Amino acid sequence: MSKSYDVVAVGHALVDIRIVVDRFPGPDEEARVLDQTWGGGGSAVNMAIDAKRLGLRSSVIAKIGFDSFGRIIVDELLREGVDISGLRISVGKTGFTIVVIDKNGSITMYGYKGVAEDLEPGDIDLDIISNSRYVHIASLRIDTSIHVAEIARKNNSKVLWDPGRVLAGKGIDALSKLIEKVDIVLLNNLEAKMLTNLDDHREAAKIIKSLGPELVIVKRGSKGVYALGYGLDEEIPAMNIDRVVDTTGAGDAFAAGLIAGMIRGYTIKKAILYANAVAALKITKLGSHEAPTHEEVVNFIWEKGLAI
């Protein structure tokens, strides 16, 4: 029996307010704003929109407030064609992130999670999880994450998990019951270190994989990614680009690209190559979910003299 969705993103729905400045000001100083944009953000929103732009049938499960910021998120998801039947609305406030970027691409962020962290196990739409080929969980409280992973496993859906810094800081012992229930772990260098207390990302990946996941990918920014599993034990280079504009959401773009590559039947290494290209193209644009289309990704890869 075919499933209704290619992927469901479970996690935070926030509003991103992005400001590009000529420099970071000190106390009692003013910086000139060079550019600005605002709209839906957060791991679940970013990933669901990125996946949709890559041609996947995507859905989102998250919690927003009954306020103007919540309306912004709903409007943007509907405009992008993402299924929102899994959104839950609370009387609290929708979370937001203020992202300040200087002209060199360095970032300072101020985050308020609002009701995003109030997504409880009972808020999860079981039908959406069971009818999704892939389930992506990111930066979400442990009890809800475990509940989602268990439902997905029972319905033969592949589970990807990205801890984010807050969860990674809890350490591997606190997260072991969750890690053993997921198929693919995606995390960056810092999160790998925080999770395992190991400086070597390769050794950190081995420890994480020993708990049960089939694949562990450590995202290393401009150095590319390290992949362990599915026959791989390899450093895979990043895609070079001329200019970095905004790195927020790069990890979500990578995750969407990885799932899109796997759904299209690529080998895992080629799916990672595809995901690297998606992330590279995203960071050339201002915005947390400015993912390219599938055609743009393929053309970019061909321009690099590579093939998928």
pTM score, two decimals?
A: 0.94
Longest Cα–Cα distance in the chain: 62
- Among 111, 23, 50, 9, CA closest to 287: 50
- pLDDT tens for each residue of 171-220: 999 999 999 999 999 999 999 999 999 999 999 999 999 999 999 999 99
Tell me the C-alpha to C-alpha distance, in Å, between residue 78 and each of 52, 93, 119, 140, 216.
11, 20, 21, 23, 33
Tell me, what's the pLDDT at 52?
Answer: 98
| Dihedral, CA of residue 34, residue 39, residue 45 and residue 47, to nearest 10 | -30
What does residue 131 show for φ and ψ, rounded to 5 degrees? -105, 25
- pLDDT tens for each residue of 122-132: 999 999 999 99
Tell me, what's the pLDDT at 1?
Answer: 58
- Rounded to a whole number of angstroms, the distance between the first and last alpha carbons of the chain is 29
Domains in the chain with CATH codes: 5-10+42-93+116-304 (3.40.1190.20)
Report mean pLDDT in 10-residue bins for the chain, 308 residues: 91 95 93 92 97 98 97 97 98 95 85 95 97 97 98 97 95 97 97 97 98 97 95 94 87 97 97 97 90 95 87
Structure tokens at 66: 């009954």
Buried b (16+ CB within 10 A) or exposed e, 117-146: ebbeeebbbeebbbbbbbbbbbbbbeebbb
Structure tokens at 241: 């680009």
Tell me, what's the pLDDT at 212?
Answer: 97
